[in-house]
């Protein structure tokens, strides 16, 4: 499998480690403390809302009216299982062998099935799965905050703080994760170029000259010659490797997106 050469090993979240291994992206091991970053990210209206949530006097003790035991666990498990299955069963990420069987069942041309799709198809599916994760987890967070608020005490205050933090950090999370499909595009191109080179279709860099070739201006006849279509690369192990990598990145992104949910879940268990 082809990976970005000479990548630095990271000890951060799985998503960052994967992207550092697969792409040319540069990630910093350390940065300003989170508190310092929040000072830069919070607008004055956000700061007022956060201050109000932190200073509000919450009723003492937890409410006697509780949801059924482990209701939040069952709800979180259902949402996570649904998203996990959506990634695992994504047809675009199915290995070549499974895709051939699917084409055979539908009596489609095997030759068409052997042609590797362009990255645009993978990008579209990645963005769709990101949107599905963002919507489902956002709705789940709102439900968990409602559970916290109904129990009163410090958990009610925590629900207000989480609502403010989601509004403040949600845009930054969306923008940061929106860059992932672009990073994977470079990995796709690297694997495809390696496959072309292996099959004798390597192309010279634009403007490169062969040994002994003169750098001359093409005449009118050569300019009129139609451009040759780039060689078609077939589906195969190289693309299955990309599918597996993309699926791993999606699972790692799901872990990142689920972290606030785990925090709310822990608070519900403690009350």
Task: Determine, yes or no, domain membership for 149.
Answer: yes
Task: Determine, yes or no, domain membership for 14.
Answer: no
Whole-angstrom Cα distance, residue 134 to residue 76? 14
Backbone φ and ψ for 245, nearest 5 degrees, come out as -65, -45
Task: Determine, yes or no, domain membership for 3.
Answer: no
**The pair of three-digit structure tokens given for residue 44, joined into one six-digit string:** 């004055």
Per-residue pLDDT of the chain (271 residues; tens, 9 = 90+): 555 554 555 556 889 889 988 987 776 665 666 666 666 666 657 666 667 766 766 555 555 455 565 789 999 999 999 999 999 999 999 997 766 555 545 555 555 557 788 999 999 999 999 999 999 999 999 999 999 988 877 788 888 888 888 888 888 889 999 999 999 999 999 999 999 888 766 544 444 444 444 555 455 545 555 555 566 788 889 999 999 999 999 999 999 999 999 999 998 888 7
pTM of the model: 0.76
Q: Who's near 180: CB < 8 A, 6+ residues apart?
A: 15, 19, 126, 130, 249, 253
Residue with tokens 């190289």: 238
Per the structure, the complete domain to which residue 134 belongs is given by 40-56+68-199+234-270
Residue with tokens 């949600």: 170
Task: Determine, yes or no, domain membership for 137.
Answer: yes
Whole-angstrom Cα distance, residue 134 to residue 130? 6
Task: Determine, yes or no, domain membership for 6.
Answer: no
Task: Determine, yes or no, domain membership for 105.
Answer: yes
Task: Determine, yes or no, domain membership for 121.
Answer: yes
If one counts the domains in the chain, the total is: 1
Q: Are 62 and 148 in contact (CB under 8 A)?
A: no
Question: pLDDT tens, 230-269?
Answer: 667 888 899 999 999 999 999 999 999 999 999 999 988 8
Question: For residue 187, what are the CA distances in angstroms to 25, 238, 256?
Answer: 11, 11, 21
Task: Determine, yes or no, domain membership for 241.
Answer: yes
């Amino acid at each position: 499998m082809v990976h970005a050469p000479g990548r630095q090993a990271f000890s951060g979240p799985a998503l960052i480690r994967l992207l550092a291994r697969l792409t040319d992206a540069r990630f910093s091991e350390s940065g300003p403390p989170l508190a310092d970053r929040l000072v830069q990210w919070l607008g004055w209206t956000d700061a007022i809302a956060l201050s109000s949530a932190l200073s509000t006097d919450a009723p003492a003790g937890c409410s006697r009216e509780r949801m059924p035991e482990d209701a939040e666990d069952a709800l979180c498990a259902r949402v996570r299982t649904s998203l996990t299955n959506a990634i695992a069963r994504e047809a675009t990420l199915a290995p070549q062998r499974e895709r051939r069987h699917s084409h055979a069942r539908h009596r489609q041309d095997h030759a068409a099935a052997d042609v590797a799709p362009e990255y645009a198809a993978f990008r579209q599916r990645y963005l769709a799965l990101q949107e599905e994760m963002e919507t489902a987890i956002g709705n789940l967070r709102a439900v968990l905050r409602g559970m916290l608020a109904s129990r009163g005490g410090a958990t009610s205050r925590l629900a207000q703080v989480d609502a403010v933090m989601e509004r403040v950090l949600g845009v930054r999370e969306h923008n940061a994760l929106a860059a992932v499909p672009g990073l994977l595009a470079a990995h796709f191109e690297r694997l495809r170029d390696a496959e072309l080179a292996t099959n004798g279709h390597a192309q010279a860099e634009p403007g490169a000259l062969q040994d002994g070739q003169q750098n001359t201006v093409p005449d009118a006849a050569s300019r009129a010659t139609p451009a040759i279509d780039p060689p078609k690369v077939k589906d195969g192990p190289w693309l299955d490797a990309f599918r597996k990598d993309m699926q791993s990145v999606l699972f790692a992104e799901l872990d990142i997106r689920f972290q606030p949910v785990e925090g709310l879940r822990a608070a519900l268990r403690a009350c």
